[in-house]
């Protein structure tokens, strides 16, 4: 049974999220793809091949802007597709052109400046396929993709690898960002937790945190 999970670890300085690579007998999947040329180079050095699929957990730049650097079939929610289209329709001459709470909040600006020596290099790739919940067969390795309610943003997708029992949630349990601050939405968080509690995962991978066991993860929410 194929159950290796390759995780390219998050980096707080650059804001690269955890990038996860799963390989089955016939196909491979990358969960999120980094935010630009430097992150993509770091990721491609580790995974060697272009994955067959890239799943975008949500539209934020650090998870999605790296897509043009891979020859992969990119999957996203309709909301993510539309958000990326909104970015693409803007004539981007400097980073401030995409800084807004509606696109990339101010929190992202210093990280975008680190990733792009010249923001005119930014070439947003629109996803190839819009999905909601879906089962992806990588060859003796089934990945369940779920569309979830998330306090972070609409259109969030999470992925569960039945073989390794890893659950990949991107930033889905984080608050939403306005300016440089994160805000919680306890009702949406409750709905999210109530959904994932029914998935038999043993380990959970968030976008910007260390891997946790199921027990460690739910313990954090005991006092909510």
Tokens 């994160």 belong to residue: 182
User: Of 115 and 171, which has the nearer Cβ to Zn ion?
Assistant: 171
Minimum Å gap between C-beta 192 and Zn ion is 14
- From start to end of 119-217, where are the E strands? 129-130, 134-137, 142-148, 156-161, 166-170, 176-178, 181-183, 203-206, 212-213
As a whole number of angstroms, the distance between CA 176 and CA 185 comes to 8
As a whole number of angstroms, the distance between CA 56 and CA 81 comes to 10
- Residue ranges in 51-70 that form contacts with Zn ion under rule CB under 5 A: 60
Query: Which strands, in side-by-side order, build the sheet including 129-130?
Result: 6-8, 19-23, 28-31, 53-55, 73-76, 129-130
Minimum Å gap between C-beta 114 and Zn ion is 17
- Residue ranges in 135-174 that form contacts with Zn ion under rule CB under 5 A: 171
Minimum Å gap between C-beta 171 and Zn ion is 4
**32 forms part of the interface with Zn ion (CB under 5 A):** no
User: Of 125 and 141, which has the nearer Cβ to Zn ion?
Assistant: 125
Minimum Å gap between C-beta 152 and Zn ion is 6
Minimum Å gap between C-beta 150 and Zn ion is 9
Site string for Zn ion, 93-132 (x = CB under 5 A): ----------------------------------------
SS3 21: strand
User: Of 171 and 173, which has the nearer Cβ to Zn ion?
Assistant: 171
Beta bridge partners of 160: 144, 167
Residues in contact with Zn ion by the rule CB under 5 A: 60, 171
């Amino acid at each position: 049974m194929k159950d290796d999970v390759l995780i390219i670890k998050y980096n707080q300085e650059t804001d690269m999220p955890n990038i996860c690579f799963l390989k089955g007998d016939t196909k491979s999947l990358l969960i999120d793809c980094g935010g630009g040329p430097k992150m993509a180079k770091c990721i491609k050095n580790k995974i060697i091949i272009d994955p067959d699929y890239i799943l975008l957990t949500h539209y934020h730049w650090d998870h999605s802007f790296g897509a043009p650097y891979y020859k992969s079939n990119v999957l996203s929610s309709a909301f993510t597709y539309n958000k990326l289209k909104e970015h693409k329709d803007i004539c981007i001459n400097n980073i401030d052109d995409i800084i807004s709470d509606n696109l990339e909040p101010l929190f992202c600006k210093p990280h975008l400046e680190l990733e792009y020596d010249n923001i005119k290099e930014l070439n947003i790739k629109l996803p190839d396929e819009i999905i909601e919940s879906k089962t992806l067969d990588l060859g003796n390795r089934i990945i369940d993709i779920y569309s979830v309610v998330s306090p972070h943003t609409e259109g969030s997708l999470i992925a569960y690898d039945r073989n390794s029992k890893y659950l990949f949630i991107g930033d889905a349990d984080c608050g939403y960002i306005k300016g440089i601050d994160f805000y919680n939405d306890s009702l949406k968080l409750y709905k999210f937790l109530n959904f994932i509690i029914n998935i038999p995962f043993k380990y959970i991978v968030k976008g910007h945190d260390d891997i946790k066991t199921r027990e460690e993860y739910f313990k954090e929410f005991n006092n909510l």
